């Protein structure tokens, strides 16, 4: 178990989509602590805590196509590698966009 691990990601979601979907990544969404002023959410997970901070929403242009995206910072406090991977797997499935 490590005290603090940080991970950065750039996700193709808006802030509105993030706040709507994040509630589906844990079993009890009442544990989510939203801080929309600082664009972050934190919650207990296993025996530790996860905090996800959002940077300013951006637009990526590819030819004539525009894609919203948001850089994110994940902070895992007092979680094992397996616990972090377990949460990230649920997160990825929840935020996966169509295709197929």
CATH numbers and ranges of domains, the chain: 2-95 (3.30.530.20)
pLDDT at residue 72 greater than cutoff 70: yes
Whole-prediction pTM: 0.90
- Give φ, ψ of 57 to 5 degrees: -65, 140
pLDDT digits (tens, 9 = 90+) for 19-37: 999 999 998 989 999 998 9
Length of the chain: 100
**pLDDT confidence of residue 97:** 75
- Give φ, ψ of 24 to 5 degrees: -90, -5
- Residues 6 or more apart whose CB falls under 8 angstroms from that of 92 comprise none
- Mean pLDDT score, 10-27: 94
């Amino acid at each position: 178990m490590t005290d603090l691990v940080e991970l950065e990601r750039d996700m193709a979601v808006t802030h509105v989509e993030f706040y709507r979907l994040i509630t589906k990544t844990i079993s009890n969404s009442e544990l989510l602590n939203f801080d929309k002023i600082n664009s972050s959410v934190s919650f207990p997970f296993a025996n530790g805590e996860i905090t996800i901070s959002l940077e300013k929403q951006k637009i990526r242009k590819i030819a004539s196509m525009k894609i919203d995206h948001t850089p994110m910072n994940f902070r895992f406090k007092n979680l094992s590698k397996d616990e972090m991977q377990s949460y990230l797997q649920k997160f990825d499935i929840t935020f996966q966009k169509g295709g197929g």
